[in-house]
């Protein structure tokens, strides 16, 4: 039998060894955790985007502030400048005329009364018509005696100035009329503008705005009168899951689409659409009769006549006949509906303008749109 002192010493030794082992495990775990934290912090730092600076050229990285911009290089004589700008999403992008004048130093003026855009160069003025595909070149000419006079020329082209949100935009292909050569790269990320040094930087011999306008105003006014013009547009919405009703909507929409109404002529919805019969493809859907909901052929057609009524009102045309539903409808505001029933209730309006109008009707997904146009012979979709 071992002495008590010996036993006690052995027990103490075991306790010490156990604590030392436990302490070493704890130290090892803490070391691993600390190393993991350092690695995580290091990884986090490496994953942060570089915000110290921006790309100097357009790039395709969505996190770069310049990924949606275009680099424009402007050469005006010996002076070359480079700018990064965000242009339209068209392909190729359209250039704001005001930006163009800022880059080139050209003189630009917009006339709010006529919509004309005047672009001035030495000895020449260019007048853009708001229709977008007509411009007038006004220049100076000397006769054999040396006497100077103004002349003008009308140019019709395919792609010209367009208006978007009150901003005049021009394609690079039209810049040659402004004595500027515009060259895109194949991806439309770079644009080189080369200004004709004979025009830009020369501030002499400008044609006054009133002189340019006096030369072209008569033809400009005639062009404006003949330019297609949208008088009004109105849209309503429906549930395409209501299959039968949707069929009826599409049939009535197709019946009034592309219909011309001459000056002084009366448009009749029932006469244009005709009877809503199964022989013409119409199906049974909910209609209103004396305050009750029933199923009958052509249910839903009243949404087309109501949409037309609102478009006609917005166009300033004169409604001659219109009836309200016997129950409220949810696709137009109260008292802005126009119910129809073939043989009894019609919707009619008068073209009280001096020009032919055209009705445009289209359905896109769950949207029904009707537009009233003037000075057009055909609208297709």
pLDDT in tens, 77-127: 778 888 888 887 777 888 888 888 888 877 888 888 888 889 888 888 999
pLDDT of residue 38: 42
Q: What is the pLDDT of residues 123-155, one digit of tens each?
A: 889 998 988 789 999 998 888 888 889 999 998
Conformation bin of residue 201: beta by default, left when phi > 0, alpha when psi is -120 to 50: left
pLDDT of residue 43: 35
CA gap 213, 325 in Å, rounded: 53
pLDDT of residue 3: 52
Taking 70 as the pLDDT cut, the residues of the chain under it are: 1-58, 201-204, 377-381
pLDDT of residue 96: 87
pLDDT of residue 51: 42
Q: Indicate the domain borders of the chain.
A: 70-226, 229-374
Query: CB of 153 within 8 A of CB of 136?
Result: yes
Fold that domain 70-226 belongs to in CATH = Copper Amine Oxidase; Chain A, domain 1 (3.30.457)
Average pLDDT, the chain: 83
Peptide linkage before 92 cis (omega within 30 of 0): yes
């Amino acid at each position: 039998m071992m002495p008590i002192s010996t036993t006690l010493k052995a027990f103490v030794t075991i306790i010490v060894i156990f604590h030392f082992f436990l302490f070493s495990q704890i130290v090892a775990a803490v070391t691993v955790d600390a190393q993991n934290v350092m690695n995580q912090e290091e990884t986090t730092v490496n994953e942060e985007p570089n915000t110290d600076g921006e790309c100097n050229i357009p790039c395709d990285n969505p996190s770069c502030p310049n990924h949606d911009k275009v680099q424009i290089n402007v050469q005006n004589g010996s002076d070359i400048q480079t700018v990064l700008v965000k242009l339209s999403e068209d392909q190729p992008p359209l250039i704001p005329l005001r930006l163009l004048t800022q880059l080139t130093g050209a003189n630009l003026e917009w006339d709010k009364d006529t919509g004309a855009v005047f672009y001035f160069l030495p000895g020449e003025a260019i007048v853009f018509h708001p229709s977008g595909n007509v411009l007038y070149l006004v220049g100076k000419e000397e006769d054999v005696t040396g006497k100077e006079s103004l002349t003008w020329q009308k140019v019709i082209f395919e792609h010209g100035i367009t208006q978007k949100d009150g901003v005049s935009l021009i394609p690079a292909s039209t810049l040659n009329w402004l004595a500027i050569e515009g060259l895109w790269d194949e991806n439309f990320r770079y644009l080189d503008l080369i200004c004709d040094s004979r025009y830009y930087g020369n501030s002499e011999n400008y044609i006054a705005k009133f002189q340019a306008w006096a030369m072209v105003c008569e033809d400009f006014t005639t062009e404006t009168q003949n330019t297609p013009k949208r008088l009004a547009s109105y849209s309503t919405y429906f549930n395409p899951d209501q299959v039968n009703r949707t069929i009826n909507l599409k049939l009535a929409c197709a019946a009034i689409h592309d219909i011309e109404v001459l000056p002084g002529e009366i448009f009749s919805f029932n006469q244009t659409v005709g009877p809503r019969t199964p022989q013409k493809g119409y199906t049974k859907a909910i209609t209103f009769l004396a305050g009750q909901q029933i199923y009958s052929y052509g249910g839903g057609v009243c949404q087309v006549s109501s949409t037309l009524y609102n478009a006609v009102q917005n166009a300033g045309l004169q409604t001659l006949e219109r009836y309200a539903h016997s129950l409220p409808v949810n696709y137009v505001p109260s008292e802005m509906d126009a119910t129809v029933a073939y043989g009894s209730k019609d919707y009619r309006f008068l073209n009280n303008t001096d020009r032919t109008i055209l009705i445009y009707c289209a359905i896109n997904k769950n949207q029904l749109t009707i537009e009233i146009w003037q000075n057009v012979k055909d609208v297709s979709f």
